[in-house]
Amino acid sequence: MYSAKAHFWLAGLTKEHEAVLRNITPLERFSHDFSPLHSPEELHKDFVPGIIGVVIADETAGFSPQMLRAAAGEGKIVYCTAKPENLSEDMLEAVDFLWSKPLSPVTLRFYFQQLLKYLKQEKDLWLAETYLDNTIDPVPDLIWYKDAHGAHLKVNNAFCEVVGKTKAEIAGRGHCFIWGLSPEEYAQGEYVCMETEEEVIQKGTTCLFDEQVKAPEGMRLLRTYKTPIRDVDGTIIGTVGMARNVTKEREFQQKILEMARQDALTGLANRRYLESYIEEQLEKGDVTQQTFIYFDLDHFKQINDTYGHAMGDKVLVHVASCMKSSFSDAFLVRLGGDEFLAVLMKKISREEIMNRVKSFVRDLKKDFKNHPNMQILSISAGIIVSDGQEAMDDLLRKSDLALYAAKNSGRSCCRFYDSSMEKQ
């Protein structure tokens, strides 16, 4: 994958030492060359980005480790000395490797081969980190690595974008700081993923969770995969997690569900949702009474014919709004056209039902009178009260018969269903 070059500056080494070094074969994917170093100042102009620079200096060259470090910058410093115990802390901090003298051909070859292995391991580590970064950073999902105590060791760009912090700010920090939780929220365990982390560690296997987290832009819903990271002896030393921000997805799903359930014009439930609602209520097993109130506007066709469908739509929206106010405890449906339904799934007396429907019919007619283009309108209603066991289609049919009776009685009124309506 990579091709690396190392350049070695040699200071104070004998020609025999240089010959030994030049005869050592570079490791795989590596090449190297050598040049003499006469003064540390040469390093300032000779260090080339992308080339691994290493200074191998014998103490007889007269260059202190501090001088070499100042000139070499990020380059590696190898210092050869016969008395390493005489080096100060400052001198030791300036070097990367100490080679003890005397340097026989065998020991020099050993030291140099170990140095080459170190440089290759360092380059291989860089490559592994580059692989990892270029794998996780383009991914739109959040990815993170934690130690066993919950400190974040590595995250990808998507994680940084969601929490609003840089990788440097996140490194080594816990959930509370990263997600901006208050001490009270953290103490109460709100929006904290510690429980799921513990579950992953206890189970020792990959787990899937739906988690809510509090981000700078508000609450976020994450679909999260978490898996343990193990040491060579099998001990769990941390976790790796990947989370997809499904907040928008869930919002879209909810919107689609609402669109499938609702009448687009009025916002009331549609016929399909009515069927699901009744089925759900009956499955609960505690329904003892069902009341269907079937509404139909009187003279609505004249509004469409006279003023157009835009005015007709305005009327339907207005009726739906009035129903929401008058029957806030009911399940409200637009069945189609100018037909509406209010469903009460609770015990309620016939007298109370009649009073509420009469009041609604009367108030709506008065309201229509206050609108110049709606004065001809009124509303009629048919009511059926069941013991809670009748099928929805039967209740719709019977409430429709009662509505038909109200229409025949002069409109702008309501009627309860009775069996005599079947013959009529």
Residue 188 has what pLDDT?
A: 57
Fold classified for 142-250 = Beta-Lactamase (3.30.450)
- Which range (156-160, 251-255, 381-385) has the least confidence? 251-255
Sign of the CA dihedral with 58 first, then 60, 62, and 64 last: positive
Cβ atoms of 339 and 274 within 8 Å: the answer is: no
Residue 35 has pLDDT above 80, yes or no: yes
Cβ atoms of 239 and 229 within 8 Å: the answer is: yes
Query: In a 3-state reduction of DSSP, which class is residue 267?
Result: coil
The better pLDDT of the pair 163, 187 is held by: 163
> For residue 183, what pLDDT band results from cuts at 50, 70 and 90?
low
Which one-letter DSSP state was computed for residue 347?
Answer: -
Residue 422 has what pLDDT?
A: 85
> For residue 195, what pLDDT band results from cuts at 50, 70 and 90?
confident
Residue 47 has what pLDDT?
A: 66
- Tell me the pLDDT of the chain averaged across its residues: 90
Range with the largest mean pLDDT of 45-59, 187-201, 216-230, 380-394: 380-394
Q: How far apart are CA 156 and CA 76, in angstroms?
A: 30
Q: Output 371-376 pairs: Cβ under 8 A, ≥24 positions apart.
A: 373/303, 373/306, 373/307, 373/311, 374/303, 374/315, 374/318, 376/299, 376/302, 376/303
CA 125 to mean position of chain CA atoms: 31
Q: How far apart are CA 236 and CA 255, in angstroms?
A: 42
Q: How far apart are CA 24 and CA 116, in angstroms?
A: 10
Collect all residues with Cβ–Cβ distance below 8 Å to 326 and sequence separation of at least 6.
356, 359, 360, 363
User: What's the first-to-final CA gap in the chain, in angstroms?
Assistant: 90
Closest CA to 119 of 190, 211, 56, 181: 56
Residue 184 has what pLDDT?
A: 66
Q: In degrees, to the nearest 5, what angle opens at C-alpha 385 toward C-alphas 383 and 391?
A: 105
> For 266-294, how does the pLDDT look when each residue is reduced to its tens digit (9 = 90+)?
999 999 899 989 988 888 877 889 999 99
Fold classified for 262-423 = Alpha-Beta Plaits (3.30.70)
Torsion of CA 398, 401, 406, 408, to 10 degrees: -170
Residue extent(s) of CATH 3.30.450.20 domains in the chain: 142-250
Mean pLDDT value across residues 243-267: 77
> For 338-359, how does the pLDDT look when each residue is reduced to its tens digit (9 = 90+)?
999 999 999 999 999 999 999 9
- Please provide the CATH number assigned to the domain covering 4-132: 3.40.50.2300
Residue extent(s) of CATH 3.40.50.2300 domains in the chain: 4-132
Residue 366 has what pLDDT?
A: 94
Residue 250 has what pLDDT?
A: 67
> For 71-103, how does the pLDDT look when each residue is reduced to its tens digit (9 = 90+)?
998 899 999 999 999 999 999 999 999 999 999
343 to 20, 164, 281, 373: CA distances (angstroms): 97, 48, 11, 30
342 to 264, 281, 313, 324: CA distances (angstroms): 18, 15, 19, 10
Q: Is the pTM of this model over 0.85?
A: no
> For 117-170, how does the pLDDT look when each residue is reduced to its tens digit (9 = 90+)?
999 999 999 999 999 999 999 999 999 999 988 899 999 999 999 888 999 999
Residue 220 has pLDDT above 90, yes or no: no
